[in-house]
Amino acid sequence: MFTGIVTDVGTVAELEQQGDLRARIKTGYDTAGIDIGASIASDGVCLTVIALGDDWYDVQISAETVSKTNLESWVVGKRINLERALKVGDELGGHIVSGHVDGVADVVEVADEGDSTRVTLRAPKDLARFIAPKGSVALNGTSLTVNDVDGCDFGINFIPHTKEVTTWGDVSKGDRVNLEIDTLARYVARLAEMT
């Protein structure tokens, strides 16, 4: 489990297709404190560490994961949001995030509003019903509050701090981002269907 509070911005250092996709991610984390088999959310996707070096870790990514996320667009040099898995007693600063991406949203508009940046995204129709104003979503692993919703489109504001400590300062119209809907919203919708 994760919180959606990004704690490092890593870089894709190597990509190799070996049956599954294998990626090497450079990180500022102290890799001496990471175990083989640990889970690290990489752009919001829970990936398992299979090898470690002084300033990098390797992950193996299945074709299923690639097909459900934006990882097909990863290239060497791409910056990605990272978060280590929660430990018992850690502060829950964002919201509960599983790292199991539900789909990919498209950035349809980017506009500066004061020092903040307003981003409008379009969710897949089957996921849009789970997104509510003032609710939470995880986008590329970042816990965010939804400002407004209009059909499949929803708006997020990024304050300067978030743009500085994540990859959101690089966002552009046309970007495809990993979307994980709020688990609570999923269960509330399921319960409503059953009554």
- What pLDDT shows up at residue 97? 87
Domain positions in the chain are 8-84, 103-194
CA-based radius of gyration for the chain: 16
- What pLDDT shows up at residue 140? 98
Averaged in consecutive runs of 10 residues, what is the pLDDT profile of the chain (195 residues)?
94 94 97 97 97 97 95 96 86 82 97 96 95 95 96 97 97 98 76 75
- What pLDDT shows up at residue 47? 97
CATH fit for domain 103-194, picks 2.130.10.10, 3.40.50.300, 2.40.30.20, 3.30.200.210: 2.40.30.20
- What pLDDT shows up at residue 67? 93
Yes or no: domain 8-84 corresponds to CATH 2.40.30.20: yes
- What pLDDT shows up at residue 34? 97
- What pLDDT shows up at residue 32? 96
Tell me the whole-structure pTM to 2 decimals: 0.93
User: DSSP secondary structure string, the chain?
Assistant: -B-S---EEEEEEEEEEESEEEEEEE-SS-GGG--TT-EEEETTEEEEEEEE-SSEEEEEE-HHHHHHSSGGG--TT-EEEEEEPP-TT----S--B-S---EEEEEEEEEEETTEEEEEEE--HHHHTT--TT-EEEETTEEEE--EEETTEEEEEE-HHHHHHSGGGG--TT-EEEEEE-HHHHHHHHHHHH-
